[in-house]
A = this chain, B = another copy of it.
Amino acid sequence: MNNPAIIRINPLDNVAIATAIGGIGKGDSVVSGIVAIEDIPMAHKIALCDVHPGDSIIRYGYKIGTANRFIPVGSWVQEQMLETPEAPSLDEIKYSAPIPNPVEQLQGFTFEGYRNEDGSVGTKNILGISMSVHCVAGFANHIITRIKNELLPSYPNVDDAIALSHTYGCGIAINAPAAIIPIRTLHNLARNPNLGGEILVLALGCEKLRPEKITGEEAESDILYMQDESLTGFEEMMQAALQMAERHLKKLNARKRETCPISDLIVGMQCGGSDAFSGISGNPVAGFAADLIVRAGGTVLFSEVTEVRDAVEQLVARAADEEVAAKLINEMKWYDDYLGRGNADRAANTTPGNKKGGLSNIVEKALGSVVKSGSMPIVDVVSPGDRIKKKGLQFVATPASDFVCGTLQLAAGMNLHVFITGRGTPYGLAMVPVIKISSNTKLASRWHDLIDFDAGPVASGEKTIEAMGWELFQLMLDIASGKKKVATDVLGLYNELALFNPGPLT
């Protein structure tokens, strides 16, 4: 029921969104049998049927409010006509098993990846140098430059060499309860599938974070200490580092891509620099592709606690079982407490700009963010810094802060990243390909060499969410297989990792 003038995300919705630049004019026929009875601005809602007092207003397939008056078909559904659902306390949310909604499993889709010994699969073949403390980061940068100049030309199957920089490791409360988060993040980052199981750590020697916390005990791993008393001067340290790197480059270089099932894909979904179209075009297209990945047996991660906090009831309703629901609520509680300790309000509240952009309340805003996760059941909830243990759609509980979220999704095991933006951000990560989706064609045209996929044709009505979702799905497989390169890989435009350390500095 979409046309150039409106878009409806879910068949259950009784409202649709005006998408044309000028909005909808009074008397316009927006779809068969429905005529606008007043002017409706762009990104605002039109009633698709008569809505009576007490009826639910449904968008994204979920109730965003209750009508407090009669809203005739074709009218502008405005903020003051809705009563916002009372936000239930996290202690009061009841779980009931979802109504089974069998979907067709997808067969026969594969991609070409690098199989690792632990069973995971890389979409890139990268040498990663972990570090136990920020002190050594300057030296690590020198090592990376030397590896690129002196070693990589001899190892053509290795895509890149990167330093896993962070500002943790010393001057921190290593025994504080929250320290477990950055520590396990560093441990799991070193195990990201795209680093091929080759774990090498540049250490200082006197730092609080022992490098063995990163390597773990089971791994065949290397640690180089700058304070090693057998090394005299900068160049000897450098040679020791280059020798360590070369041992691992040899192993990485011997790897070849092989055909892998979609169940080896771990796709992290994220959005940032959103605009009024993000929830209309980019996020729904990404959500449709997310469903395809899950239906084909793969894994999709979505995150950003503060973005989705106000859609918690809808998320709990999608939990695959009671344990998952409980985990979800616990993570939300942890975050509420964390924000409370810092005297911070939840940041997901609608702003005046949001409301002008057509978002009636915080539930509608959160649902627009959640829609990029698709519609499949949530099979697990992953604490920040932890690695996933299941396949399927999972909630990785992270801050919404773009690079902190990305870093934690990398630790969770992400090997392919999808990032939706409306206003534009040069978001890039060296460790995984980042497919950047624009919510509108204007951005895709202006940032022609920074955007990989334009979901704008959905907003303009030229293409359907379904059709673009399939296009995106195919692009994801091509990029995971190394057949196409994302814009940030072409440009070499990467941001550093950003660790989540909820504990204090000392």
Does A461 count as interface, using CB distance less than 8 angstroms? no
Chain B residues within 8 Å of A172, by CB: 401
Does A332 count as interface, using CB distance less than 8 angstroms? no
Assess the B136–A233 pair: CB atoms within 8 A: no
Chain B residues within 8 Å of A403, by CB: 134-135, 167, 171
Assess the A423–B206 pair: CB atoms within 8 A: yes
Please state the number of chain copies in the assembly.
2
Assess the A424–B344 pair: CB atoms within 8 A: no
Does A399 count as interface, using CB distance less than 8 angstroms? yes
Interface residues of A in 323-354 (CB under 8 A from B): 338-339, 341-348
Does A175 count as interface, using CB distance less than 8 angstroms? yes
Does A495 count as interface, using CB distance less than 8 angstroms? yes
Q: What string of 1s and 0s marks CB contacts (under 8 Å) between A419-437 and chain B? A: 0000111111000000000
Assess the A448–B399 pair: CB atoms within 8 A: no
Chain B residues within 8 Å of A137, by CB: 495-496
Does A467 count as interface, using CB distance less than 8 angstroms? no
A208–chain B nearest beta-carbon distance, Å: 8
A136 to B424, CA, bound (A): 11
Assess the B401–A171 pair: CB atoms within 8 A: yes
Q: What string of 1s and 0s marks CB contacts (under 8 Å) between A385-404 and chain B? A: 00000000000000111111
Does A505 count as interface, using CB distance less than 8 angstroms? yes
Assess the B135–A233 pair: CB atoms within 8 A: no
Stretch at the interface among A12-20, A38-46, A69-77, A223-231: A223-231
Assess the A167–B404 pair: CB atoms within 8 A: yes
Known A-B contacts A139-B426, A448-B232; A273 and B503 likewise in contact (beta carbons under 8 Å): no
A205 to B229, CA, bound (A): 49
Assess the B450–A506 pair: CB atoms within 8 A: no
Does A81 count as interface, using CB distance less than 8 angstroms? no
Decide if the interface of chain A is mainly helix, strand, loop or mixed: loop
Assess the B428–A341 pair: CB atoms within 8 A: no
Assess the B229–A404 pair: CB atoms within 8 A: no
Q: What string of 1s and 0s marks CB contacts (under 8 Å) between A484-506 and chain B? A: 00001001111110101011111
Q: Which residue of B lies closest to A234 (CB)?
A: B449
Does A178 count as interface, using CB distance less than 8 angstroms? yes
Assess the A176–B343 pair: CB atoms within 8 A: yes
Contact partner, A135, options B171, B177, B426, Cβ 8 Å? B426
Chain B residues within 8 Å of A404, by CB: 167, 171, 505
Q: What string of 1s and 0s marks CB contacts (under 8 Å) between A124-144 and chain B? A: 000000000011111100100
Chain B residues within 8 Å of A503, by CB: 342, 344
A144–chain B nearest beta-carbon distance, Å: 12
Chain B residues within 8 Å of A178, by CB: 342-343
Assess the A233–B505 pair: CB atoms within 8 A: no
Interface residues of A in 160-196 (CB under 8 A from B): 165, 167, 170-173, 175-178
Assess the B135–A495 pair: CB atoms within 8 A: yes
Does A440 count as interface, using CB distance less than 8 angstroms? no
Chain B residues within 8 Å of A338, by CB: 504
Chain B residues within 8 Å of A448, by CB: 232-233
Assess the A399–B138 pair: CB atoms within 8 A: no
Does A447 count as interface, using CB distance less than 8 angstroms? yes
A273–chain B nearest beta-carbon distance, Å: 5
Known A-B contacts A175-B345, A496-B165; A399 and B506 likewise in contact (beta carbons under 8 Å): yes
Assess the A426–B226 pair: CB atoms within 8 A: yes
Q: Which residue of B lies closest to A342 (CB)?
A: B504
Interface core residue of A206, A339, A345 (most chain B CB under 10 Å) = A206
Known A-B contacts A402-B170, A448-B232; A428 and B342 likewise in contact (beta carbons under 8 Å): no
Contact partner, A170, options B139, B206, B401, Cβ 8 Å? B401
Interface residues of A in 192-225 (CB under 8 A from B): 204-206
Question: Known contacts A226-B425, A341-B342; can you find 4 more A-B pairs with CB under 8 A?
Answer: A135-B426, A173-B345, A205-B424, A342-B503
Pairs across A and B, CB under 8 Å, 8 listed: A134-B498, A138-B493, A171-B402, A171-B403, A173-B339, A205-B423, A206-B425, A233-B449
